[in-house]
Amino acid sequence: RLNNLENNFNLPNANFTIGAQLYDGVRVNLDVYLASRHHNETWVKGGYLQIDKLDFIKKDFLADLMQYTTIKIGQMENNYGDAHFRRSDNGNALMNPFVGNNIMD
């Protein structure tokens, strides 16, 4: 039998990042929160499809243009204001020297 959790009990945090190459010049990235402070279910933070070559259409299709171009489609980082650049991002809290976030909050 498991004991009931009390108030203010911190749940473990975990992030999962998937980065894969689907084809030459085509990559996909997906950031997933496996668990977070207020959610115990898994949910997607964001992700994108990045295209650096269009060889999947035809060999060297628009190669001169794609030499200087990258196409990104998807949900990248949301800008929630200046403070979000200094706050811990779920399971990445070890990367923040002020683990409790800002010195003065």
Q: What is the pLDDT of residues 50-66, one digit of tens each?
A: 999 998 888 988 889 98
The pLDDT confidence band at residue 41, using thresholds 50, 70 and 90, is confident
**Nearest to residue 46, comparing CAs of 87, 71, 86, 75?**
75
The pLDDT value given to residue 93: 67
The pLDDT value given to residue 52: 93
Mean pLDDT across the chain: 79
Based on DSSP, count helices (H) and strands (E) in the chain, helices before strands: 1, 4
CA distance 58 to 62: 9
CA distance 89 to 36: 10
Quote the pTM value. 0.66
- pLDDT tens digits along 9-30: 666 777 888 999 999 999 999 9
Q: What share of the chain is helix, strand, coil (3-state, %, to 5)?
A: 15, 30, 55
